[in-house]
Protein backbone atom coordinates (compact mmCIF):
# COMPACT_ATOMS: atom_id res chain seq x y z
CA UNK A 1 0.00 0.00 0.00
CA UNK A 2 1.25 3.47 -0.88
CA UNK A 3 2.69 5.09 2.29
CA UNK A 4 0.76 8.32 1.64
CA UNK A 5 -2.52 6.46 1.32
CA UNK A 6 -1.73 4.33 4.36
CA UNK A 7 -1.03 7.46 6.43
CA UNK A 8 -4.22 9.14 5.14
CA UNK A 9 -6.21 6.01 6.02
CA UNK A 10 -4.74 5.98 9.54
CA UNK A 11 -5.59 9.66 10.00
CA UNK A 12 -9.13 8.98 8.78
CA UNK A 13 -9.59 6.07 11.17
CA UNK A 14 -8.43 8.14 14.14
CA UNK A 15 -10.56 11.13 13.14
CA UNK A 16 -13.66 8.97 12.61
CA UNK A 17 -13.24 7.38 16.03
CA UNK A 18 -12.61 10.69 17.82
CA UNK A 19 -15.56 12.40 16.10
CA UNK A 20 -17.80 9.42 16.86
CA UNK A 21 -16.89 9.47 20.55
CA UNK A 22 -17.26 13.25 20.67
CA UNK A 23 -20.69 13.09 19.08
CA UNK A 24 -21.80 10.43 21.56
CA UNK A 25 -20.62 12.58 24.47
CA UNK A 26 -22.46 15.54 22.98
CA UNK A 27 -25.71 13.67 22.32
CA UNK A 28 -25.79 11.35 25.34
CA UNK A 29 -24.27 13.60 28.01
CA UNK A 30 -24.06 17.28 27.12
CA UNK A 31 -27.45 17.75 25.45
CA UNK A 32 -29.45 15.89 28.13
CA UNK A 33 -27.68 17.92 30.82
CA UNK A 34 -28.48 21.12 28.96
CA UNK A 35 -32.15 20.43 28.29
CA UNK A 36 -33.16 18.17 31.18
CA UNK A 37 -30.65 19.08 33.87
CA UNK A 38 -30.56 22.83 33.34
CA UNK A 39 -26.76 22.62 33.09
CA UNK A 40 -25.72 24.31 29.82
CA UNK A 41 -22.05 24.61 30.83
CA UNK A 42 -21.13 21.10 29.66
CA UNK A 43 -22.73 21.69 26.28
CA UNK A 44 -21.00 25.04 25.92
CA UNK A 45 -17.66 23.25 26.34
CA UNK A 46 -18.32 20.05 24.38
CA UNK A 47 -20.15 21.59 21.40
CA UNK A 48 -17.29 23.76 20.06
CA UNK A 49 -14.78 20.96 20.64
CA UNK A 50 -16.96 18.58 18.65
CA UNK A 51 -17.43 21.22 15.95
CA UNK A 52 -13.68 21.69 15.59
CA UNK A 53 -13.06 17.94 15.53
CA UNK A 54 -15.77 17.50 12.89
CA UNK A 55 -14.02 20.08 10.68
CA UNK A 56 -10.79 18.09 11.08
CA UNK A 57 -12.74 14.94 10.15
CA UNK A 58 -14.01 16.65 6.98
CA UNK A 59 -10.48 17.63 5.97
CA UNK A 60 -9.05 14.19 6.69
CA UNK A 61 -11.92 12.55 4.80
CA UNK A 62 -11.36 14.81 1.81
CA UNK A 63 -7.63 14.01 1.84
CA UNK A 64 -8.32 10.27 1.81
CA UNK A 65 -11.03 10.66 -0.83
CA UNK A 66 -8.70 12.51 -3.18
CA UNK A 67 -5.96 9.91 -2.74
CA UNK A 68 -8.39 7.04 -3.41
CA UNK A 69 -10.31 8.95 -6.12
CA UNK A 70 -13.74 8.46 -4.56
CA UNK A 71 -16.85 9.59 -6.43
CA UNK A 72 -18.57 12.70 -5.07
CA UNK A 73 -21.53 10.82 -3.57
CA UNK A 74 -19.24 8.56 -1.56
CA UNK A 75 -17.34 11.58 -0.26
CA UNK A 76 -20.57 13.26 0.83
CA UNK A 77 -21.88 10.06 2.43
CA UNK A 78 -18.71 9.47 4.43
CA UNK A 79 -18.65 13.10 5.53
CA UNK A 80 -22.27 12.95 6.66
CA UNK A 81 -21.54 9.79 8.66
CA UNK A 82 -19.84 12.01 11.22
CA UNK A 83 -23.18 13.66 12.03
CA UNK A 84 -25.11 10.53 13.03
CA UNK A 85 -24.34 8.83 16.36
CA UNK A 86 -22.57 5.46 15.96
CA UNK A 87 -22.47 5.70 12.15
CA UNK A 88 -18.92 7.02 12.00
CA UNK A 89 -17.73 3.76 13.60
CA UNK A 90 -19.56 1.66 11.00
CA UNK A 91 -18.35 3.76 8.08
CA UNK A 92 -14.78 3.78 9.39
CA UNK A 93 -14.70 -0.02 9.35
CA UNK A 94 -16.25 -0.17 5.89
CA UNK A 95 -13.87 2.42 4.42
CA UNK A 96 -10.86 0.68 5.96
CA UNK A 97 -11.93 -2.73 4.70
CA UNK A 98 -12.59 -1.41 1.17
CA UNK A 99 -9.32 0.52 1.02
CA UNK A 100 -7.24 -2.42 2.18
CA UNK A 101 -9.00 -4.79 -0.24
CA UNK A 102 -8.43 -2.37 -3.09
CA UNK A 103 -4.81 -1.50 -2.35
CA UNK A 104 -3.21 -4.60 -0.84
CA UNK A 105 -1.69 -7.17 -3.21
CA UNK A 106 -3.70 -10.37 -3.55
CA UNK A 107 -2.34 -13.78 -4.50
CA UNK A 108 1.06 -12.38 -5.39
CA UNK A 109 -0.39 -9.86 -7.86
CA UNK A 110 0.68 -6.25 -7.21
CA UNK A 111 -2.18 -3.86 -6.44
CA UNK A 112 -1.21 -1.66 -9.38
CA UNK A 113 -1.56 -4.50 -11.91
Q: Where are the domains of the chain?
A: 3-103
Angle at 45 (CA atoms; ends 63, 52), nearest 5 degrees:
10
**Separation of alpha carbons 17 and 113, rounded Å:** 33
As a whole number of Å, the CA-based R_g of the chain is 17
pLDDT of residue 60: 97
pLDDT of residue 15: 96
pLDDT of residue 2: 85
Average pLDDT of the residues in 70-98: 94
pLDDT of residue 103: 83
pLDDT (tens digit per residue) in 35-82: 999 999 999 999 999 999 999 999 999 999 999 999 999 999 999 998
Amino acid sequence: MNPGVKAALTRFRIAAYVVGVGLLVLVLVAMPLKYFGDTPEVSSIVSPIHGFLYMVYLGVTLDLAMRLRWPALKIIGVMLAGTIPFLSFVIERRVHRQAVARLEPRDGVPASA
